[in-house]
Structure 1
Amino acid sequence: MHYSGISYALLPGFRPLQLDLWVPAGGDTYPVVVWIHGGAWQFGDRRYLPPTLEIDAVHDALLEAGIAVASIDYRLAGEAVFPAQLDDAKSAVRYLRRHAAQLGLNVERFGVWGESAGGHLAALLALTAGRTTQEGEPVDAEPVDSVRAVVDWYGVSDLTTMPKLEVPPDVSLPPGTADPIEQLLGGTTPERARAASPVTHVSADAPPFLLIHGTDDVPVPPEQSGLLHAALLAAGAQSELVTVEGAGHIFAGAADITALIARSVAFLAMHLGEGPR
């Protein structure tokens, strides 16, 4: 079953925020993974995949494992500053839980997977579950925004230690938007950077994480995943760190991205379970 263009949030002054949902055929209710796209927080949408991935490669792999997948839009940095992007991801999770019975989803079996900027947001979503958002959702808002497993591909984990991000030369951006982190935060204050850093929010209650990062990643150095991995282990949470030798950002130059997808799906299936229940 495929649902296209579901409006999960309507915010005054902004475009409708939409998601696409794929649910395996048959069965009762399925686990679901929320996919959060990358794009330096400045570009992309729910249909965007980096050029190193085959179209629908991630979605097809999840469906074959008996896991539904929801690909979401969120407000880009040129539309609203942080934490709007995190608020949107939380809203999408709550929407899916609210309508789980209608959509064939199991409310107890939610995971999240993101790449690059989406990996950053996936980590934040998992680490800030149940906390008040910019829109004023109470801490005990229902449905809850928690997830049971996280896959973070080459996401930023500590904005206070990041070098200046450079967008790819073939991407044209308006004047004044060359620094994605500054645009995301609406400035460069250390307080804002810390608040938007997943490492700030690590606790023993964190769900299991799988972090995958290329050793030759320049825009987001592999040390970023190392910092989050170390923080999670120090807090007593579960974390696996996989480094991809010779791979750059978006796994450019990786020998076998299909194997990385398979490992990610296997991790999610282990923690969410496969198929209907």
Structure 2
Amino acid sequence: MKKMNTILLILALLNLQCNTEADPEIDQENPFRMEYFNLAYASESNTQKLDIYLPVMVLEKNPVVVLIHGGAWRVGDKSNFRTNARWSEVVDTLRSRGYAVVPINYRLSGEAKFPAQIYDVKASIRWIKANAENYKIDSERIGVWGQSAGGHLAALAGVSENIEVLEDFAQGNENVSSSIQAVVDWYGPTDFLKMDSMTIAQGCATANHSLANSGESELIGFPIESRSDLVALANPITYITEVCPPFLIEHGLNDCTVPFGQGQLLYESLLPVLGSEHVKLNLLQNSGHGNGLFTEIATVENVIDFLDAYLK
């Protein structure tokens, strides 16, 4: 399967021009490029950029997977989906399965505090929809897939349709909805105030999420135990309603960076609202924070099977 996917991608790239520079406008003389880099979806920060990888076989309207990188909300870049061999393979597999893939950047906590990060995610979704026709994207078939901190933002994007406190329309395309049709949350945090107790209960050596310099504290701008109101604002469970899209949550049972109880907590909160048909939890044996089974192509294929159920 991997070899065939690679062959298909190479053939497509030989027949279609690849754009490797920032290009916010379609070139009318050559509108069928396969890749676009560093497109600005908002103008407040130079960080607010995205890339677009069209599928191997381009249709008039292609379903979309938005990829959100991790890094404790303070480091990371969308370029990782191109330069990291493992994630490049994920992108290639998605493209071979008929998806346009859109990795995004968002303002990190050193630049802006929460909720700037979810503002950016939702602004990027609105931009994708507003520009869907130019890039042969189907604005009604959008899934979001995030890892770690990106998993947290993907979950928030999924639960916050019509939640104005998590939407900054000043970022652009204010008349476009940021609703999405599917969420994949890979080992993302949910309730920051429960992370240390879950880490200890799991038998991990250290539990440091409540420290003033933790990723969670730096995200909200205060030690998390001093601002339960901001922690609640960042908690996806706060916003769950029956309009939430389907969720796939996957977490490693050996994860001591984000304890698996965080994924379990989100699942248990979504389950009575969405039902077992529309929310799935996979706890992966012998897997930590993004390693183990998360590195296997079979795990990626299972995720895409989930996306296929709701985006095709």
Give the alignment's TM-score, normalised by structure 2: 0.78
Rounded to whole Å, the distance in 1 between the matches of 2:178 and 2:71 is 23
- Structure 1 segments (4+ residues) deviating >4 Å: 49-53, 133-136
Give the partner amino acid of 1:218: C
* 1:47 and 2:79 are equivalent in the alignment: yes
Q: CA deviation at 1:51?
A: 10
- Secondary structure of 1:162 counterpart: helix
Q: Relative contact order (alpha carbons < 8 A, sep ≥ 6): 1 or 2 greater?
A: 1
Structure 2 unaligned runs (5+)? 1-33, 200-210
Give the alignment's Cα RMSD to 1 decimal. 2.5
Change over 3 Å in CA distance of 1:28–1:135 after alignment to 2? closer
> Which of 41, 44, 64 is 2:96 aligned to?
64
Cα offset for 1:137?
2.5
Query: How do residues 1-277 of structure 1 correspond to structure 2 at under 5 angstroms?
Result: 1-11=34-44, 14-24=45-55, 25-48=57-80, 54-133=86-165, 136-137=168-169, 141-163=174-196, 178-187=213-222, 188-237=226-275, 238-250=278-290, 252-254=291-293, 257-273=296-312
Q: Which amino acid aligns with 1:3?
A: Y
| 2:82 and 2:88 in contact (8 A); partners too | no
Distance 2:246 2:46 in 1: 33
SS in 2 for 1:61: helix
User: Which SS does the other structure have where 1:32 is aligned?
Assistant: strand
**Equivalent residue letter for 1:4:** F
Q: CA deviation at 1:135?
A: 6.7
- The amino acid that maps onto 1:114 is G
Relative to structure 1, is the Cα distance of residues 253 and 186 closer, same or farther in structure 2, using a 3 angstrom cutoff?
A: same
Aligned to 2:202: none
Map Cα deviations across residues 46-73 of structure 1 (whole Å, 9 max, x no partner): 1125999614122111111101110000
Larger radius of gyration: 2
In structure 1, distance between residues paired with 2:249 and 2:305: 13
Which digits, 9 at most, give the CA deviation of each residue in 1:73-118, with x for residues without a partner? 0000111000000000000000000000011001110110000000
Aligned equivalent of 1:173: none
TM-score normalised according to structure 1 size: 0.87
Q: Percent identity?
A: 36
SS at match of 1:203: coil
Cα 1:90–1:135, aligned 2, differ >3 Å: closer, same or farther? closer
- TM-superposed deviation, 1:154: 0.2
- Kindly indicate whether the alpha-carbon contact (under 8 Å) linking 1:150 and 1:209 is maintained by their aligned counterparts in 2: yes
CA deviations 1:176-234 (Å, max 9, x no partner) are 97311100011140010011011111112111000010000001000101001010012
For the 8 Å contact 2:294–2:300, the answer to whether it is kept is: no
Number of matched residues? 260
Q: Distance in 2 between matches of 1:165 and 1:50?
A: 34
